[in-house]
């Protein structure tokens, strides 16, 4: 006698909620689960095995399907993103999982720093909204060793130096375009570009590596400004709108001033040249994107707001045509430490080799499965 299949009757609303939350293509799910339409119609509930597969496909904890109604998942950090004047709707599973993972890493590093008697990072919460933009940016530029002459010869050099200098002064900087190491779960830049998690011993910033390369350096500068302000946030870093949130407006202004000091911009800007050519020239000088330079041109008074918005739209289309995405590719041993933060990776490896952290936990936090990979990365980072 064949074993009877166990079927699970979950409320239809939970299937719809899981699909929306995951943002997985509905047609693709229907091909993978031929009975999905019957589940959604409440006509034929799935077997437990099918439900477990559906939960994995939609990145949903299986326990949620045993609730009577879809749960409310509050954003774990302040959410300053807006579309127009409205807050953004329900966060995706990819965004939530990324924040939770970063919070877990931050908690580990906080305990590690405490156990090793690290001093609190002095610049965290060193500013307020009453601090002037110029003074805050100047302090950041000094602490991060990021004057215009210290940015290298290319945009890539500038981004790498800003990231590395931030880590040298105690910031965990994570740049990743996917959830963890799962290349099938690409993060959506239209949903978020970055966030900051404030902690006196373990300040952390995350930059969406799936965003354009031109956007990433501004996001990093913006999130670092949040640390100086001492406020965790999921950020709104759009340059083509004027944020109605005072914190976001301040962080945008400080980030722009850090990258393109207004005094230097006014000294350098040639009103007689073609705007596109001038943007390219100044972007090369400041090692910043042309969109950031364009915003500074507007703030310097050379463009009205309507003219700026029109120029921004045109320039953004040009930039997207010229530049590829910022997805993480290339050598794993170069990519993974940037995804998890080199500072974090070195600390986890050191703690593991000293016997304070289990290899199992270290592999999980670093995003791989083999001890041979751990040993190779340890050698490359100079920890072994």
Pair 124, 228: CB distance under 8 Å = yes
Question: What would the pLDDT profile of 309-321 be if each residue is shown by its tens digit?
Answer: 999 999 988 887 7
* 273 — pLDDT class (breaks 50, 70, 90): very high
Residue 342 near residue 374, CB atoms below 8 Å: no
**163 phi and psi angles, rounded to 5 deg:** -65, -50
Would you state the pLDDT for residue 330? 63
Residue 325 has pLDDT above 70, yes or no: no
Least confident of 155-159, 236-240, 287-291: 236-240
Distance (Å, rounded) from C-alpha 374 to C-alpha 81?
A: 37
Residue 58 has pLDDT above 70, yes or no: yes
Query: What pLDDT score does 293 carry?
Result: 95
The band of 1, judged by pLDDT with boundaries at 50, 70 and 90, is very low
Burial zone of 300 (CB within 10 Å; 0-12 exposed, 13-18 middle, 19+ buried): middle
The residue among 165 and 38 whose pLDDT is bigger is 165
| Predicted TM-score (pTM) above 0.75 | yes
339 or 213, higher pLDDT: 339
Q: Between 294 and 321, whose confidence is greater?
A: 294
Looking at every residue in the chain, the average pLDDT score rounds to 90
Stretch among 69-78, 316-325, 362-371 having the lowest mean pLDDT = 316-325
60: exposed, middle or buried (C-beta count within 10 Å: 0-12, 13-18, 19+)? buried
First to last CA, the chain: 58
Q: In this structure, what token pair is assigned to residue 293?
A: 């330079």
Return the higher-pLDDT residue of 110 and 23: 110
> How far apart are alpha carbons 346 and 369 in whole angstroms?
17
**47 neighbors 5 (Cβ within 8 angstroms):** yes
Q: What is the mean pLDDT of residues 20-36?
A: 90
Lowest average pLDDT, out of 23-32, 239-248, 261-270, goes to 239-248
> How far apart are alpha carbons 5 and 47 in whole angstroms?
6
Query: For 236, phi and psi rounded to 5 degrees?
Result: -115, 100
Whether the CB-CB separation of 105 and 344 falls below 8 Å is answered with yes
Is 370 a residue whose pLDDT tops 50?
yes
């Amino acid at each position: 006698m064949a074993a009877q299949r166990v079927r699970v009757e979950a409320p239809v609303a939970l299937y719809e909620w899981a699909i929306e939350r995951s943002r997985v293509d509905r047609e693709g799910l229907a091909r993978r689960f031929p009975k999905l339409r019957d589940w959604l119609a409440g006509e034929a509930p799935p077997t437990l095995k099918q439900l477990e597969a559906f939960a994995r496909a939609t990145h949903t904890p299986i326990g949620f399907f045993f609730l009577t109604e879809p749960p409310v998942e509050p954003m774990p950090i302040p959410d300053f993103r807006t579309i127009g004047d409205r807050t953004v709707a329900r966060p995706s599973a990819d965004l939530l999982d990324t924040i939770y993972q970063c919070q877990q890493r931050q908690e580990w590093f906080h305990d590690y720093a405490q156990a090793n008697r690290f001093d609190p990072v002095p610049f965290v919460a060193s500013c307020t909204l009453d601090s002037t933009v110029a003074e805050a940016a100047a302090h950041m530029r000094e602490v991060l060793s990021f004057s215009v002459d210290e940015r290298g010869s290319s945009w890539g050099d500038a981004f790498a130096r800003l990231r590395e200098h931030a880590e040298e002064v105690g910031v965990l900087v994570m740049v990743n375009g996917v959830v963890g190491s799962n290349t099938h779960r690409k993060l959506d830049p239209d949903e978020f570009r970055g966030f900051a998690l404030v902690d006196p011993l373990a300040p952390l910033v995350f930059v969406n590596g799936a965003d354009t390369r031109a956007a990433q350096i501004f996001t990093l500068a913006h999130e670092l400004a949040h640390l100086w302000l001492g406020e965790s946030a999921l950020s709104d870093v759009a340059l083509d709108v004027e944020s109605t949130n005072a914190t976001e407006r301040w962080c945008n202004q400080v980030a722009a001033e850090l990258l393109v000091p207004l005094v230097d911009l006014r000294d350098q800007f040639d009103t007689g040249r073609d705007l596109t050519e001038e943007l390219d020239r100044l972007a090369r000088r400041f090692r910043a994107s042309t969109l950031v330079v364009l915003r500074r041109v507007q703030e310097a008074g050379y463009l009205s707001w309507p003219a700026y918005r029109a120029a921004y739209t045109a320039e953004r289309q040009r930039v997207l045509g010229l530049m590829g995405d910022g997805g993480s590719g290339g050598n794993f041993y170069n990519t993974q430490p940037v995804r998890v933060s080199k500072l974090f990776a070195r600390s986890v490896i050191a703690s593991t080799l000293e016997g304070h952290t289990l290899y199992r936990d270290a592999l999980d936090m670093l995003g791989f499965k083999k001890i041979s990979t751990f040993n190779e990365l340890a050698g490359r980072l100079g920890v072994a």
